[in-house]
Chain A
Amino acid sequence: MKYLYYPGCSLEGTALEYNASTQAFMQELEVDLLELKDWTCCGASAAEATSFLLSLALPAYNLAMAEEMNGSKEILVPCSACYLNLKKVEEKSRKDPELLDKINTILKEKKLHFHGQVRVRHLLDVVAHDVGPAKIVPRVKNPFNGLNIAPYYGCQCLRPYPVFDDPEEPRSMEPVIKAVGAKIHPWNMGGRCCGASHMTTKPEVALELVAAILKAARGADAIVTVCPMCQMNLEAYQKKISEKTKEDMRMTILYLPQFLGLAMGLSEQDLRLDLNLSITKKFRDKL
């Protein structure tokens, strides 16, 4: 298996461990990732809030560069915000030739043309469906028997495009979590919003949303995520939320490839567990 790889800006900064663990996990499974040369920002949620055209031109530029690479017709994206921005261009340009023309008028500035021939895939989609439990089970060295895991999907890998999971009741993470011996924490918060960038501009609102998620996860040993924004919101404000609610809201938050990688015997160093902001002592004792 071979994919083009678009890490995105967060994976070079606040989500370094997502990048490292994705690469280590994929390498262990003999999946080749070919990083998109000279990739640029997808526009995140900022382009969309300032200019509709720019919010499509920035991801389209990257997809057009991906088409010029002869590695694969599929591009793997671990960050849900990047995934949706890139996916949006794939979806919208297929349905709206006029819009595609406009995008290509812009790309001409970079002597590029987007043909719509590259398929955007979220990391979770690839792990759950292309890799799947069948390839993970034989590689499990430290099974997580008895651990309770709360799968957290967030929003943008599920909605608005229901590509690989049920956008209302997501389940795609469950088979791979079970494949390493863990149980699924029963909850209905997996697809609820974490508040995204409200944490910076309207913290009082985002803290409320994160508090509800952390509270519902109580009883689980860890929450597993597939998005840098979700991960940061869930792990970085636990102390503040505990003080506010006067309840102990400490919870281990791991990226999916970190969690699966640990069970497959990858080292904490390869998975960059040292970079996580919230791994409880209780969880460490169980490793």
Chain B
Amino acid sequence: MSKSIFFVYLSKINKINSIYNLQSTIENHQLQRGSVMNIAENMEIEKVAATIREPVTDSLATIRNMVSACIQCGTCTGSCPNAFAMDLTPRQLWYNVLMGEKEAIFHSRTFFLCSVCYCCTLRCPRGLPLTDTMSALKQMAAKENLAPYKKNIRFYKSFMESVRRHGRVREMEFMTLYFLSMKNPFIPIQFVPLGIKLLGKGKVSFEIPSKGSGVLESIFRKVEALERG
């Protein structure tokens, strides 16, 4: 905890305009660390940190707590198989979470590019639940139906809709629900060759979306009620 406050403070005193250059800033100011720590000992740091944290909305607080001990070492970025396709690296994402930069976080494609491989979680020297934090950001985006993630959210929600109806996912129904929700004829077309192959093998069958037995309906409802609080 104190380490993250230290980083918050460090960035504040150096008036960092860009949120992406923390690491070089740390290197540049390594010599100043001693003096920074002295101020920290004077409890000044707590005061500054409190003023910085104020504007962060509660909705992000739980997620911020998950990574509050992040030391910005970048092991997560170095371990991530999808980092090459991300706009913010995982390390940069955590920095934005710590800073409460909702705009930057929820315009980034980073967390939906997490394929849940757990390499970062396994290697994080602070033992932080980084994969779970990526999922928490996905959950928040899904709950608020954020426009930049329409495709991912519809994909996952179509899947869950099929499960809710039938208890087990029906792959063709789920894909049909997904394609219908996307209202884009070009998305299904790219899956036609594989779909035909799988139909031929009897692995999937044509399924018109149907109501189903509703075996999981009570569980889904109870979860929704608990989440509404």
Contacts and interface: CB of A to CB of B under 8 A. Distances in A.
Contact of A40 (B115, B156, B167, B227): B167
A48 interface: yes
A51 to B, nearest CB: 6
Interface in A203-256: 203-206, 208-209, 236
Interface in B196-215: 197-198, 201-204, 215
Interface stretch (B16-24, B53-61, B79-87): B79-87
Given A14-B203, A110-B218, A9 B115 contact: no
A202 interface: yes
A13 B186 CA distance: 25
Contacts of A38: 167, 215
A130 interface: no
Nearest to B163: A41
A46 B220 CA distance: 14
B156 A49 contact: yes
Contacts of B151: 201
Interface in A128-178: 155-156, 159-160, 167-168
Given A16-B203, A49-B142, A155 B219 contact: no
Q: Is the interface of A mostly helix, strand, loop or mixed?
A: helix
Given A52-B136, A110-B219, A41 B169 contact: yes
A279 interface: no
Nearest to A159: B118
A106 B220 CA distance: 9
A7 to B, nearest CB: 10
Contacts of B171: 9, 13-14
B35 interface: no
Contact of A193 (B81, B153, B155, B190): B81
A222 to B, nearest CB: 19
Contacts of B157: 46, 50
Nearest to B135: A48
Interface string B94-137: 00000000000000000011011111011000000001000110
Contacts of B167: 38, 40-41
Given A40-B216, A44-B169, A106-B226, A195 B115 contact: yes
Nearest to B225: A106
Given A9-B169, A40-B167, A41-B167, A156 B116 contact: yes
Given A46-B156, A196-B115, A160 B215 contact: no
Interface in A37-60: 38-41, 43-55, 57-58
B84 to A, nearest CB: 7
Contact of A50 (B160, B201, B215): B160
A278 B22 CA distance: 47
**Residue from the set B153, B157, B219 with the largest chain A CB neighbour count within 10 Å:** B219
Given A52-B135, A198-B113, A201-B152, 15 more contacts: A9-B171, A13-B203, A41-B167, A41-B168, A45-B156, A46-B155, A48-B135, A50-B138, A52-B136, A61-B216, A105-B222, A105-B226, A106-B223, A156-B116, A193-B115
Interface of B: 81-82, 84-85, 112-113, 115-119, 121-122, 131, 135-136, 138-139, 142-143, 151-153, 155-157, 159-160, 163, 167-171, 190-191, 194, 197-198, 201-204, 215-216, 218-223, 226-227
30 contacts: A13-B170, A15-B203, A16-B203, A40-B216, A41-B216, A43-B163, A49-B139, A49-B142, A50-B139, A50-B156, A51-B139, A51-B223, A53-B226, A110-B219, A155-B117, A156-B117, A159-B117, A159-B119, A167-B122, A192-B81, A195-B115, A196-B117, A197-B115, A198-B113, A200-B191, A201-B152, A203-B190, A204-B85, A205-B113, A208-B84
Interface of A: 9, 12-16, 38-41, 43-55, 57-58, 61, 102, 105-107, 109-110, 155-156, 159-160, 167-168, 192-193, 195-198, 200-206, 208-209, 236, 274-275, 277
